[in-house]
Structure 1
Amino acid sequence: MGTTLDVLVIEDEADIRDAVVGFLSQMGYSAAGVGSVEAAEAWFERHDAMVLVLDLGLPGESGLDWLQRRSDLRDKGIIIETAAGSESERITGRVAGADGYFVKPVNLVELSISVKNLLDRLQPGDQWQLDSLAWVLRSPAGKNVKLTASELALLECLAIRPGSIVERATIIRRLGADPDTYDIRRMEVMLRRLRVKIAEQLGVEAPISTVRATGYAFTAPLEWFGDQVV
């Protein structure tokens, strides 16, 4: 497989195809265009694309038939742009897997916004997210793990300065306990269970490091939102 582009435009009218590809390229996206389903099939033998902008009324196999035949295309973002805009046609397109539906003439700015939204959804970042309102930790792949009150309190302490060591005493106080009397083995058990839960439910290793006899650190980019009171 060769280059993966942001967008492949499948449109038989050359002036429309060139306009869409040109505008998306000006907006900073990598884009290419072909004129039929058959050309798209050949293009995909050597390349890939995250989002498809697909005309339904194509020569040869129609865009709709192609979507219905190729269920694997639903892993991509699919935007239909077509002259067919009746309610039943829009519903049929949505059922076939379309994420967006534009009736010609298409507003290119609006189309580019839909492309951006789909790419944001399809391209996972490298940042974890801690949601104090929902009590969840979200992996870069978008998967959530539900947290207990103690786990949330621990991660909130680490979220203040990701990558920096947080002393045990700070975490213990956040848990509502006294550092002088707290049994540190309780925290070690909690951390071990949290690491196992993250591995099992998110499929990745928890980016939480232990600094012997000192404290802990969250060693990956972390966005924290919600009730940020520590």
Structure 2
Amino acid sequence: MTEHLRSISNVGIVILSGRRGVEDRVRGLMGGADAWLSKPADLRELAVTLVSVRRRMAVVPAGGEAEPQPVRAPQPAAPAPEWVLTVDGWALVSPGGRSVSLTPSERLFIQCLFNQANEVVRREVLVEAMGHRPDYYLNHRLDMLVSRLRRKIQSETGEALPLRAVRGFGFILSRHQVSG
């Protein structure tokens, strides 16, 4: 089915299936699916997956509507060391291979940043991703979460999380290790 959809359209394809076997997932992804989720899927994870696939499928010109972006085969390149969020989202792995367990709030915060890696994410978007209302969630609470998370990651991995604050706007996460 995914092969047929991919042959006639450039739509994003997300498979939500009760099948959990590796072979089923591999077959679906190799057949053209952009993402695979197993049932029962968390509604937030499904929503974030859909947003992520849509973002990858669209290019937004300076002042216009989103246009479909062609699907391209990945280009082989030397892999740069990068931060990785585990599939279940409960641990962050540093470029050096050290893992840090995440609290529920840290997990939702980091997942939102990973879904928009290398892009500035507004504070309001991060607060909503953590399940709070931006009009009631105080800015200093988000700043404290970021401060504790940075200290925790530095302490447990010996590496600094490449997370920058953009004053008056939000945060940006670079998944690749920043040298310097």
TM superposition score normalised by structure 2: 0.52
CA contact (8 A) 2:123 2:171 kept: yes
| Cross-structure match for 1:189 | 144
Distance 1:220 1:166 in 2: 14
Change (3 A) 1:209 1:145: same
Specify which of 108, 116, 135 is matched with residue 180 of structure 1. 135
Counterparts in 2 of 1:194 and 1:203: CA distance versus 1, 3 Å: same
Pick aligned residue for 2:115 from 160, 175, 178: 160
- Structure 1 equivalent of residue 19 of structure 2: none
State the 1:136 CA deviation.
Answer: 0.4
* CA contact 1:168–1:214 (8 Å) conserved in 2: yes
Q: CA deviation at 1:221?
A: 3.0
Unaligned runs of 5+ in 2: 1-78
User: Is this contact kept in 2: 1:158–1:217, CA < 8 A?
Assistant: yes
- 1:220 paired residue among 152, 175, 180: 175
Shift, 1:215, TM fit: 0.4
Distance 2:82 2:160 in 1: 14
Once the two structures are TM-superposed, the CA of residue 134 in structure 1 deviates from its matched residue by 5.5
Find the partner of 1:149 among 104, 114, 123.
Answer: 104
Supply the RMSD in Å over aligned alpha carbons.
Answer: 1.7
89, 92, 95: which one pairs with 1:140?
95
TM-score by length of 1: 0.41
Distance 1:159 1:177 in 2: 19
Matched, 1:205 2:160: yes
Q: How far apart are 1:160 and its partner, in Å?
A: 1.1
- In structure 1, stretches of 5+ residues that fail to align are 1-123, 223-230
Deviations 1:86-132 (A, max 9, x none): xxxxxxxxxxxxxxxxxxxxxxxxxxxxxxxxxxxxxx951110015
Among 81, 93, 99, the residue aligned to 1:126: 81
| Contact persistence 1:132–1:152 (CA under 8 A) | no
Identity percentage of aligned residues: 32
For residues 162 and 187 of structure 1, the distance between their equivalents in structure 2, rounded to whole angstroms, comes to: 18
CA displacement, residues 8-44 of structure 1 (integer Å, 9 cap, x when unaligned): xxxxxxxxxxxxxxxxxxxxxxxxxxxxxxxxxxxxx
Following superposition, the deviation at residue 181 of structure 1 comes to 1.3
Does the Cα contact within 8 Å between 1:195 and 1:206 map onto a contact in 2?
yes
Answer whether contact 1:125 1:141 (CA < 8 A) is retained. no
Where 2:100 maps in the other structure, the secondary structure is: strand
- Provide the secondary structure at the position in 2 that maps to 1:154: helix
Higher strand share: 1
Q: Do 1:162 and 1:221's aligned partners in 2 also have CA atoms closer than 8 Å? A: no
The one-letter code matched in structure 2 to 1:129 is: V
Aligned residues: 99
Deviation at 1:220, TM superposition (A): 2.9
Match of 1:48 in 2: none
Structure 1 residues 29-66: Cα deviation after superposition (integer angstroms, max 9, x where no partner): xxxxxxxxxxxxxxxxxxxxxxxxxxxxxxxxxxxxxx
Residue of structure 1 in register with 2:63 after alignment: none
